[in-house]
Chains A and B, each alone.
Chain A
Amino acid sequence: MSSVANSTQWCGQSVERVEDAALLTGRGRFIDDLGVKPGTLHAAILRSPHAHARLAAIRTDAARALPGVAAVLTGADIRTLSSSLVVGVKAPVECWPIATDRVRYVGEPVAVVVAASRYVAEDALDLIDIDYEPLPAIVDPVAALDPAAPVLHDGLGANLASERAFRYGDPEQAFAAAAHRIAVTIRYPRNSCTPMETYGLVAEYDAAEDAYDVLANFMGPFSLHAVMARALKVPGNRFRLRTPPDSGGSFGVKQGVFPYIVLIGVAARVTGRPVKWIEDRLEHLAASVSATNRVTTLEAAVDADGRVRALAWDQLEDVGAHIRAPEPATLYRMHGNLTGAYDIHHVSVRNRVVLTNKMPTGLNRGFGGPQVYYALERLMQRIAVELELDPVDVIRRNLIPSGRFPYRTATGALLDSGDYVKAFDIALKDGAFASLRERQAKARAEGRLYGIGLTAAVEPSVSNMGYITTALTPQERRKAGPKNGAQATATVSLDPLGGVTVNVASVPQGQGHRTVLAQIVADDLGLMPADIRVVTDFDSGRDAWSIASGNYSSRFAAAVGGAAKLASGRIKARLARMAAAQLNVGVDEIEFAAGKVRARGNPDNALPFTRLAATSHWSPGLVPVENQALRETAFWSPPELTAPTEGDEINSSLCHGFIFDFCGVEIDRVTGAARIDTYVTMHDCGTILHPGMVAGQVTGGFAHAVGAALYEEFAYGDDGSFLTGTFADYLVPTAMEIPAPLILHLETPSPFTPLGAKGVGEGNCMSTPVCLANAVADALDLDAIDLPLTPAKLAGHIHGAERAPPQRPAAARTGKGRALHGVGEARVDAPPETVWRMLLDPGTLAAIIPGAHGVAKVSDTHFRADVTLGVGPVTGRYKADIRLSDLDAPRAVTLIGVVTGALGDARGAGRITLTADAGGTRVTYDYDAEIGGKVASIGGRLLDGAAKVVIRQFFAALVRHTGGAKPGFLARLFGRGA
């Protein structure tokens, strides 16, 4: 052991990370890098192409018959062997990890194939035959509240899943007395931080012990362990959950692997074999978790000088198709912080949670912060603009004054420490705000579009596990029992050679926890970081953990680091007593330094640390029991994290960092592209343990925020079709788009955490989107602007709405899909009776329908077909379901068809008329169709053209089948199709 430390303080230094050597040489141990047991099966998941449809029938026989397939599971199987996931609101609604009676979003699992390899499993997915009965979809959260809107969950009777109203102080009086009332309404879009590694897990079921063992790149919170165990119908001690040593990013998102743990767990139980599932990127984008989209109206009661006296929040939260745990946490995570960094005493809140036909939501970096600060900081800018004040003055005037910390906010948060005004002033000076103003004036004088944005924000960290119960009424909370706190854990052990090992349940995904914990414990025990071995792969069957364990709400530095310090301190106290006895000095004279435990002031009176640390293994008889040092586990839950009060005040987080950002953004007058010219971000995250990692958290969060602000959106069509299903559609910024922000710091240690540290990982995701939007609004002089700030949107503001293209009636959108209409005729060289028979014969139809793989006759008037169709560049396989009606043999028939495929769907009706014509038959047709799904986003002319081609091919084949056409026929084949 190289215990040759001097008195160096390791915390506060940017030491090289212990994690990096393996990661840089391709020796990381991510979930898909680990071997599996022989005989492990592989799962693939069939997902819904519809946003909303009833599952009429699922036929899995062909898939089961494929060699290599071990099992095919559907919702019915999952219902038999598991329970619904617990839902976080009091409502008669279930949440399953797979569709049971109907699908409610594009990408929802419908069936799971378990096979010898992933390739075979995916082959089998193609053989599963499903009858969907499409239902109207609801996408917009406001429209979802309409009593006439389609209802997603019958048990609720409506799409409103939760509604609560709150009142703090006397907001009515404050509004009545206010000089001004200023309001904003914002629609925050959907996005996700999309970690580079997707979800993955290996599940095993031990029938002898009725126990599950799952290895998954889950990130916590481990309150979800209880949700999963209950869903799997086993006690918590029969659900062992482990994590791999490395995890490829999460940003909250890997919380969302938990429904799949239940789903694949059941698959392992059914097959009696370990089952592995690795999510692919397309699955991840469509159906992992999204941040919530939210519609917020925020109004302020304002004095003439811009001082805000009261806020009235109205938040409509869209959690997608299910209220999946821990939702509606996104809405309540910020509840204590609804007044931001400002000294505002009167607040009213109306919170509503609504369900729509979109991907369910969950944790995502910033978690509720971006939505809140977008409204609050847009409002602060509007106050400045409407009252013709300098936004700098408006923010400064409203900041919580210096010397008022800890500060209790109106809604219940206890802001631990800070000096917001000081940090604000330092940022303006060190960030050269005055020269930014000059830069703007110069740009504007040259006729360029240049805006400045500002944002102040409080960044909460270390969530109170009780905040979510603010969604319940005080009465409901009394009944359920109070929830509060946030247990952090750490274990420090000494091995027989005197080595130090730290185990934590922090489940990192790249945040360097092993390095920082080694620094913390090395400082405490007077060792080198390299002397400390830190283990962060987690095992619920062996490690100390609690419901708050995991890597979220930026809790590591403050909570887990603190718990490690406490555990180390306990070991140290025992070692110190042991050393005092051996060195014949008082305990308070013992110091730990340079790999020695020694008498302060007499360094020669010393013991090697390793020797002392090994003593309790080798010679316990020589050491009084109370001094023996082997292993210490610290559980730490800060007393400040109390349950919501009867008045609904909630200290939703333990620590509160402060952020003040400003930026200069220039917008290209022609293209509308926004370019970040300058970005300054001031952080007070308490004591900094590792400056390099703090910088990494800031630049990483900033990049996520720039993506969310300028490029990224999970876009849905009006019919619920998912339009951003690849990384070519969901635009994640690259090095080209991310400038380097200027990062400034002020350190005011938190008095509530053992190390004085606070979280820092999420702040820019909260502050930066609205800071950029404020700059864009300033540049373009806009009252209202929503994200993302795409060039097309900004160009629309600069140039006005784009002119409609001339004369494209077929491309006009009617209803929710894209409408197509056409008429035409063809002549066939056979009498109507022959043509009639051919049109009703599955064998003939299979031969003449373009791209048909087979036509099945369900009844005389009902056919099913599988077809491959190409529209423009997009070729896909579709299922056609065609019913005949109004039969008038051999003269006319009406076809009503539904075509569905992964790329979209179409439904329509056509009337075919056969008329005898000089020995042959004139066939005329007339159709109306509506196209939905991804394919509908393809240009109307392409769709029209594709429809014409398909119809032309159909009749050409019909003609061929009857023995050819007369000369010139092709010219007349397609008449007046529009």
Chain B
Amino acid sequence: MPRLSAAERHTVRFTLNGRAVEAQAEPRMLLTDFLRHELGATGTHVGCEHGVCGACTVEIDGVPARSCLTLAVQADGATIRTVEGLAPEPGRLSVLQEAFRRHHALQCGFCTAGILMSLDSYLRSQPDPSEQDLREFLGGHICRCTGYVPIMAAAMDAAKRLRESPSDV
């Protein structure tokens, strides 16, 4: 682990949605601020900055993580996926994103990025979750608009479709 000076800005490099990126950050800069304001990846949102709401969830080296509790410098060298990297190609939505749209599983869309990141990761490791398991997993996120009912429906539907055609994303 390199020693960093609090008074200086350091170059942070990582892979973001398949592309190499770099920018400068003070050691205290949060990964959320770095993604949003240094790299312009504003799809990841900040809901509480104390790790409860889940809006800022991104995937770091294959694992969902709260980017508001992560320093930018900790992500140096990592592989990061954010909501901007979920769609298989421009103009097409992923199976999960499609399911969210079909089931009206979002209203304001502010918490949605984090929920999508968590579910995307979860459904890859648990392709056939029970409703209760899925519910517990979703318990790490706060949504204030939907009442969760359509999110559960969308997630179950996406899981089913992904099981039926595993080659889809």
Contact = CB atoms under 8 A, between A and B. Distances in A.
Contacts of B93: 21, 24-25
Given A24-B109, A281-B49, A738 B144 contact: no
B112 A24 contact: yes
B150 interface: yes
Given A26-B113, A699-B149, A119 B26 contact: yes
Interface residues of A, number: 53
Contacts of B97: 24-25
Main secondary structure of the interface of B (DSSP, over half): loop
A455 interface: no
Contacts of B87: 25
Given A196-B53, A696-B146, A732-B144, A20 B106 contact: yes
Contact of A703 (B26, B100, B112, B148): B148
A740 B142 contact: no
Interface stretch (A161-169, A508-516, A597-605): A508-516
B123 interface: no
Interface in B137-164: 138-152
B48 interface: yes
A33 interface: yes
A510 to B, nearest CB: 3
Describe A's contact surface by its main secondary structure.
loop
A727 interface: yes
A728 B146 CA distance: 21
Interface-central residue, B46, B109, B111, by most chain A CB under 10 Å: B109
Nearest to A281: B48
A652 B83 CA distance: 44
Contacts of B45: 30, 196-197, 248
Contacts of B116: 24
Contact of A696 (B28, B50, B104, B152): B104
A804 interface: no
Interface stretch (A11-19, A296-304, A890-898, A960-968): A11-19
A632 interface: no
Nearest to B50: A726
B109 A727 contact: no
B82 A24 contact: no
A16 B101 contact: yes
Nearest to B29: A119
A695 interface: yes
Contacts of B43: 25-28
A30 B110 contact: yes
A249 B143 CA distance: 10
A510 B139 contact: no
B148 A251 contact: no
A23 B150 contact: no
B136 interface: yes
Nearest to B84: A26
A324 interface: no
Nearest to A253: B144
Given A28-B109, A197-B110, A20 B100 contact: yes
B87 to A, nearest CB: 5
Contact of B49 (A193, A195, A280, A698): A280
A536 interface: no
B104 A735 contact: no
A769 B155 CA distance: 28
A21 B43 CA distance: 12
A247 interface: yes
B147 A196 contact: no
Contact of A738 (B28, B83, B148): B148
A930 interface: no
Contact of B146 (A20, A197, A699): A699
B107 to A, nearest CB: 4
A734 B139 contact: yes
B2 to A, nearest CB: 21
A286 to B, nearest CB: 13
Contacts of A696: 104, 107, 145-147, 150
Interface string A663-696: 0000000000000000000000000000011011
A876 to B, nearest CB: 15
Contacts, number: 174
B139 A700 contact: no
B101 A24 contact: yes
A758 interface: no
Contacts of A934: none
B17 to A, nearest CB: 10
Interface in A728-761: 728, 732, 734-736, 738, 740
A246 interface: yes
B110 A736 contact: no
Name the interface size band of chain B: 35 or more
Interface in B102-143: 102, 104, 106-113, 116, 135-136, 138-143
Contacts of B136: 736
A194 interface: yes
Contact of A17 (B36, B49, B104, B135): B104
B41 interface: yes
B66 to A, nearest CB: 12
Contact of A194 (B49, B100, B144, B152): B144
Interface string B86-98: 1100000100010
B107 A727 contact: no
B79 interface: no
A704 interface: yes
A32 interface: yes
A838 B50 CA distance: 43
A735 B148 CA distance: 6
Contacts of A20: 100-101, 106, 109
A702 interface: yes
B62 to A, nearest CB: 19
A28 B108 CA distance: 9
Nearest to A728: B52
A699 B145 CA distance: 8
B72 interface: no
Contacts of B26: 119
- Most chain B C-beta atoms within 10 Å of own C-beta, residue among A19, A23, A512, A738: A23
Contacts of B152: 735, 740
A734 B50 contact: no
Nearest to A726: B50
Given A21-B93, A27-B43, A734-B142, A248 B109 contact: yes
Contacts of B46: 32
A17 B101 contact: yes
A702 B147 contact: yes
Contacts of B139: 734-736
Contacts of B108: 23, 195-197, 246-249, 509-510
A469 to B, nearest CB: 32
A407 B29 CA distance: 60
Interface string A244-259: 0011110100000000
Contacts of A196: 45, 47, 53, 55, 108, 110-111, 142-145
Nearest to A515: B104
Contacts of B146: 696, 699-700, 703
25 contacts: A19-B109, A25-B43, A26-B82, A28-B109, A32-B36, A32-B42, A33-B36, A196-B47, A249-B107, A249-B145, A692-B104, A695-B150, A698-B147, A699-B149, A704-B147, A726-B50, A732-B142, A734-B138, A734-B139, A734-B140, A734-B141, A734-B142, A735-B135, A735-B148, A740-B149
Interface of B: 26, 28-29, 36, 41-50, 52-53, 55, 82-84, 86-87, 93, 97, 100-102, 104, 106-113, 116, 135-136, 138-152
Interface of A: 14, 16-17, 19-21, 23-28, 30, 32-33, 119, 193-197, 246-249, 251, 280-282, 509-512, 692-693, 695-696, 698-704, 726-728, 732, 734-736, 738, 740
Closest 9 CB pairs of A and B: A26-B43, A510-B108, A23-B109, A248-B110, A699-B147, A703-B147, A510-B107, A727-B52, A33-B42
Given A17-B104, A249-B145, 4 more contacts: A26-B84, A282-B50, A696-B107, A732-B144
